């Protein structure tokens, strides 16, 4: 059985069963090593296993994403797909107008089978203006931003273990903030503050 037929067989078998299926079980080329073994030169080309764009629509098993080059891509989501939006979550928390980055595999029909999806994820270098209650105010590239602290927001001080103690996040301190951007605003739901 050649490589392509074996992959189709395995994908058909997995999809017909009741197990958890990831995009790797569905794809054509799963790694750069596969591309190299196939004699493909991918230098200078976009990574075919990466997708980014704006969510146009969502249904129970897929998303339609508009890429930066204005191409619509159907993005398949399986039981094995990991979805992150501030924290690990499910496809139900993804909305039209969200932005995403995804890792997975392009499919022969032009769709994209996602292994991992990060929704509205940002990684901001900022200066803290203040912390009051559930709000972290900060400047990022000269603009005022608001961070909404979550019940599970953590701080990491000098690469220590994550801590719910945010008392070290003080005005004037330079930090790195990982969270989920609220599209169309200067607001972020904060996951982690590296101080």
pLDDT tens digits for range 95-104: 999 999 999 9
Residue 12 has pLDDT above 50, yes or no: no
Query: Could you tell me which CATH number the domain at 3-119 has?
Result: 2.40.50.140
- Cβ partners under 8 Å of residue 39, min gap 6: none
Question: 24 φ, ψ to 5°?
Answer: -60, -30
pTM to 2 decimal places = 0.74
Q: Quote the pLDDT of residue 46.
A: 81
Please, what is the average pLDDT of the chain? 84
Instruction: Specify the range with the lowest mean pLDDT, choosing from 2-11, 64-73, 136-145, 185-194.
Output: 2-11
Note the pLDDT tens digit of each residue in 118-158: 999 999 999 999 999 899 999 999 999 999 999 999 999 98
Residue 167 has pLDDT above 90, yes or no: yes
| More confidently predicted of 51 and 8 | 51
Q: Quote the pLDDT of residue 117.
A: 97
Owner of token pair 């005005």: 171
Q: Quote the pLDDT of residue 83.
A: 97
Residues of the chain within CATH 2.40.50.140 domain(s) are 3-119, 121-194
Residue 4 has pLDDT above 60, yes or no: no
Instruction: Specify the range with the lowest mean pLDDT, choosing from 27-36, 109-118, 159-168.
Output: 27-36
Query: Could you tell me which CATH number the domain at 121-194 has?
Result: 2.40.50.140
| More confidently predicted of 111 and 33 | 111
| Cα dihedral 125/163/136/127 (nearest 10) | -30
């Amino acid at each position: 059985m050649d490589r392509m037929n074996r992959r189709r067989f395995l994908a058909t078998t997995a999809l017909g069963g009741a197990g958890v299926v990831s995009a790797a079980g569905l794809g054509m080329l799963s790694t750069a090593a596969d591309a190299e073994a196939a004699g493909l030169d991918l230098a200078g080309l976009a990574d075919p296993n990466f997708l980014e764009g704006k969510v146009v629509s969502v249904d129970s098993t897929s998303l339609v994403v508009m890429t930066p080059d204005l191409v619509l891509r159907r993005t398949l989501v399986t039981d094995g797909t990991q979805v992150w939006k501030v924290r690990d979550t499910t496809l139900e928390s993804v909305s039209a107008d969200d932005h995403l980055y995804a890792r997975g595999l392009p499919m022969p029909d032009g769709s994209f089978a996602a292994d991992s999806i990060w929704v509205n994820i940002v990684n901001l270098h900022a200066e803290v203006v203040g912390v009051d209650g559930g709000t972290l105010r900060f400047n990022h590239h000269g603009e005022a931003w608001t961070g909404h602290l979550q019940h599970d927001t953590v701080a990491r001080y000098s690469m220590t273990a994550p801590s719910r103690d945010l008392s070290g996040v003080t005005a004037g301190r330079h930090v790195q903030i990982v969270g989920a951007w609220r599209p169309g605003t200067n607001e972020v739901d904060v996951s982690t503050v590296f101080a």
